[in-house]
Amino acid sequence: MILLAFRHGLRAAELCATCAGTKYTSMQRVLHVRVKNGNPQHASLARKQLPALRRLQRESVPSPFVFVSERGTPFTTAGFARMIERAAVGGGLELKAHPHMLRLACGYALANKDHDTRWLGHRSITGTAIYTALASNRFKDFLARLSKYTN
């Protein structure tokens, strides 16, 4: 759950509502996600994510959701938040971690690698702009690149 939330910038509610109808084959590596604004989204899965998702699918009770609790009920956002808090404590972080930090980290990672952050699904461009404002390398060698076009 943590890896998918970070890699795809998913909100906790989107992650918990992810449908298990997806077949994880080598040809079709897509996860169906219901997003905040109601338009379904499809997240492409990395090849290394497939074995873990297949194992989870085999070992979990049958459910229309990818992530279920030990009782077989859909994983809740509160349960996911507790998981993040425990992982942060176990990792030695001295801050109160919450699931949205994974989404923010995804946005910053994308911006720092000069990838498009629009697919995170913000309603306005100002929601996306926060990632590019803090990307340390956005203007690295900017003047040198600019001088190539102005000379």
Identify which of 102, 128, 100 has the alpha carbon closest to the alpha carbon of residue 115. Answer: 128
Q: Decide: helix, strand or coil at residue 34.
A: strand
Q: At what angle do helices 125-133 and 100-112 cross, to 10 degrees?
A: 70
Does residue 103 have an active-site annotation? Answer: yes
Does residue 98 have an active-site annotation? Answer: no
Q: Which of 23, 100, 118, 145 is catalytic?
A: 100
CA dihedral 111, 116, 122, 123 (to 10 degrees): 130
Q: Which of 36, 42, 115, 138 is catalytic?
A: 36
Does residue 8 have an active-site annotation? Answer: no
Which pair of structure tokens corresponds to residue 74? 């859909």
Q: Which of 7, 34, 98, 122 is catalytic?
A: 122
Does residue 36 have an active-site annotation? Answer: yes
∠ CA 125-35-49 to the nearest 5 degrees? 105
**Catalytic residue numbers?**
11, 36, 100, 103, 122, 131
